[in-house]
Amino acid sequence: MVDYERAVAKKKKALFKELFQLLPPKPVILEVGIGSFPNALYLGSSDAPPEMDIVGVDPNEFMKQYALENAKKAGILTPERGNSLRLVRGIAERLPVADQSADAVVCTLTLCSVKNPQKALSEIRRALKPRSGKYLFVEHVLSETNPFFATAQRLATPEHVQAADGCHFDRQTLQTIQEAGFAEVKGDYFELDNCGFLNPTVAAVGESQVRCYMNIGEERAQQAADGDAEVLKDLRLYEPNPENVYNAQSASRSQWSFLIDVVKEHVADQEAALKAQEKAQRSSSGSSGSSNSGQMPPVQEPPTPSAGNKASILLLAVVFGIIGLATMFLMRKEKEEQERRKAKKEKKKHH
């Protein structure tokens, strides 16, 4: 892996420099899968801020010694810098840290080997501060440019998983991260040289804030992104708000699919309630007619929906309109991304 670290060093240096410029004073930095701490090189650089509280999580207890040695070599623990380093045993799917406690999460070459990447990303989001938190990642992935190479990666993965602590060559990690509910992830896909199946790599500094569907607060947005149906069933969350109306576009396709199902269920409940109300009215009018035999029955006005039902129907129409617009937006973005990748491939062929 030394060769990979050397090959990706330039990209890592740029990412960490970007991250440092975005951090507040005395930042808490959580590194997931710290291992022997190869990122000490960047956290110990002159670009790094002073008084960092670095928390390293790793399942392998034997890595602590190497992590400490590399931290000392990089100058992270020199007294004048005022940094602290805490090394904790734990796994990415169950991070031993408090909610919303980290200004930044660093995760490099980790999601390739965790058992449940989606759960790990959910934990990373939980640990990050909701408005200002940053997520720096560098991960090797399945090739996006060479289908033959991608096939070879897939074929080699089962044996490699057994031999290399669960490391997968065939994961599409950037897509997984982009669908995990982060506010913004503009990941770069690039290919290294001479790193074999690790050549295809993705990297970025992502934003932690969970974008809302509409007027939903951050705590509820987190619950909604995790699929909490009870949170989503409160239709007041989807009332039009000119300031936040386009935040819905950042919801992942799976979230929108779930939202559509919930709204359909609510519509069905509303229709059933309206039919029951109409049936009760007909039953009541029938009883009144039998007691007035021999008289002209009173003229029955068609049932008028109550103000509450009108508001619900109007609100549902607005919700479906927004869902339609957001879906069109997502489809357009996906098409643009496909065209961009196609153009990139064509350009490489010509070269």
In the chain, the domains with their CATH numbers are 2-207 (3.40.50.150), 218-284+309-350 (no CATH)
In whole angstroms, what is the distance from residue 270 CA to residue 309 CA?
8
Tens of pLDDT along the chain (351 residues)? 458 999 999 999 999 999 999 999 999 999 999 999 999 999 999 999 999 999 999 999 999 999 999 999 999 999 999 999 999 999 999 999 999 999 999 999 999 999 999 999 999 999 998 778 999 999 999 999 988 899 999 999 999 999 888 999 999 999 999 888 887 788 889 999 889 989 999 999 887 643 333 445 566 656 665 656 566 555 444 443 334 333 333 344 444 454 555 555 555 666 677 778 778 877 776 655 554 444 444 444 444 445 555 555 555 565 566 666 666 666 666 677 777 777 777 776 666
Report helix, strand or coil for 77.
Answer: coil
In whole angstroms, what is the distance from residue 225 CA to residue 170 CA?
26
Q: Report phi then psi at 139, rounded to 5.
A: -140, 140
Quote the radius of gyration of the chain (alpha carbons, Å). Answer: 27
Q: Which of 31, 26, 35 is nearest to 4 (CA)?
A: 35
In whole angstroms, what is the distance from residue 6 CA to residue 1 CA?
9
> Residue 51, Cβ neighbours under 10 Å: how many?
11
Per the structure block, which two tokens stand in for 158? 């089962």
In whole angstroms, what is the distance from residue 188 CA to residue 138 CA?
10
In whole angstroms, what is the distance from residue 329 CA to residue 348 CA?
29
Q: What is the 3-state secondary structure (H, E, C) of 263-275?
A: HHHHHHHHHHHHH
